[in-house]
Amino acid sequence: MARLCEGRIALVTGAARGVGREHALGLAKHGAKVVVNDLGAGVDGSGADTTPAQAVVDEIKDLGGEAIVNGDDVSSWDGAKNMIDQTIDAFGTIDVVVNNAGILRDRMLVNMTEDEWDAVIQVHLKGTFAPSRHAAAYWRQRSKETGEKVNARIINTSSTSGLYGNIGQTNYGAAKAGIAAFTIIAARELARIGVTVNAISPTAYTRMTDNLREYTEEDIERRDPRWVSPTIVYLSSAEASDITGRVIQAGNGRVAVCEGWRRGAEIDQLEDAEAIGPMIRDMISNVRMNSGMDGLELD
């Protein structure tokens, strides 16, 4: 089997369980040296335990690969810098950052607390920004020193909740929509130094999704996290240097490239609010509806 990421150095956040674990294992199987970051918190973000992350490192070593543990908090500015620095200190450089760490604090909007909002935004949105920012600063400096592009990768984790909308997840969905926008903008900013930025929207059965619905055995198999990681591995490879600014759904029987917001029907601007109302209604009737959670237009 061809090893797509031979010699690549990858940091995967939230890599102790679920899709993050599969990302770390998949990258290692394809020749990458992996930093397995995980605070070891519960689904709601409480607690800390690096034992599960160490178990992934041990598994990678048993397969003949190289890996180390990092237990920093992705949403901490200093912690994010430390995980980038630790990767460089251990392996000499960093080529790939996979931002995967996340928590859930689901609640209907009218009942959501400030802490439930802040915690989710902090881990998902700041926890994507902070490692990416410190890695980007390193790559920019390296590009300046060598005069060459770096061929590096940032791969973020969005969600169907952020792309299409899911009831009870205004905090999580807003963060994941923000990550999709962050991906597109960062891709444009970092292209000049050779960094691609993409995002995946995984559909997987994990401890974070276990209580969202009833699952059949067939559902669990189709949503096994192992179906998500091949996309991550390919996007991490040197071969994927021309793919950037994309959001790709993976899991539950499919891999799909998402299409973002586009301007639809339009009219010339008006000052008359009464006159503009019927025109807006007419435009709405002539454009596609927002999609459902399956990413397809509602009937």
List the structure tokens of 152: 């590096």
Q: Which of 29, 172, 201, 237 is catalytic?
A: 172
Name the residue type at position 76. Answer: S
CA 298/CA 225 separation, integer angstroms = 27
The question of whether 126 is a catalytic residue gets the answer: no
CB-CB contact of 169 with 102 (8 Å):
no
List the structure tokens of 116: 């439930």
Q: Which of 176, 205, 236, 237 is catalytic?
A: 176
Residues ≥6 apart with Cβ < 8 Å to 15? 21, 23, 24, 34, 36, 37, 38, 53, 56, 98, 100
> Any alpha helices (H) in the chain, and if so which ranges?
18-29, 51-62, 77-91, 114-121, 127-146, 160-164, 170-190, 217-222, 229-236, 273-285
The question of whether 81 is a catalytic residue gets the answer: no
Q: Which of 75, 132, 143, 159 is catalytic?
A: 159
CA nearest to 203, candidates 179, 225, 188, 170: 225
CA 175/CA 116 separation, integer angstroms = 12
The question of whether 164 is a catalytic residue gets the answer: no
As a residue count, the chain comes to 299
List the structure tokens of 34: 């992996």
CA 38/CA 58 separation, integer angstroms = 14
CB-CB contact of 255 with 231 (8 Å):
yes
C-alpha separations of 193 from 45, 79, 107 in Å: 34, 25, 41
Q: Among all residues, which ones are annotated catalytic? A: 159, 172, 176
